[in-house]
Amino acid sequence: SGVYGGFLLAKKPEEISLLEIVKVMEPTMRVNRCLEKDNYCSREATENCPIRKFHINFQNILEDRFSAVTVKTLLDNK
């Protein structure tokens, strides 16, 4: 904050992951609708769908990568 605006962080930059920021700023970051809390599937096949299993794995990889990057990481890689 101040004359030029900006943000004041409540945590240290190395304690804030990119995943935390995305979860606050975006309504969802799910790669497919069937991964939302309601498990919606137009074919009613969420329990045995091989594509959904792929999406789950991909979602986990994506979230792991976003968790590994912190604000400090971003600032250090100018």
Which tens digits make up the pLDDT trace of 7-49?
Answer: 788 999 999 999 999 999 999 999 999 999 999 999 999 999 9
Residue 1 banded pLDDT, cuts 50, 70, 90: low
32 Cβ partners below 8 Å, 6+ apart? Answer: 52, 55, 59
pLDDT at res. 9: 85
Q: Give the distance from CA 61 to its chain's centroid.
A: 10
Q: What ranges do the domains of the chain cover?
A: 13-76
Give 55's DSSP letter. H
* Structure-token pair, residue 76: 């250090």
Check: pTM over 0.95? Answer yes or no.
no
Q: Is the pLDDT of residue 78 over 80?
A: no
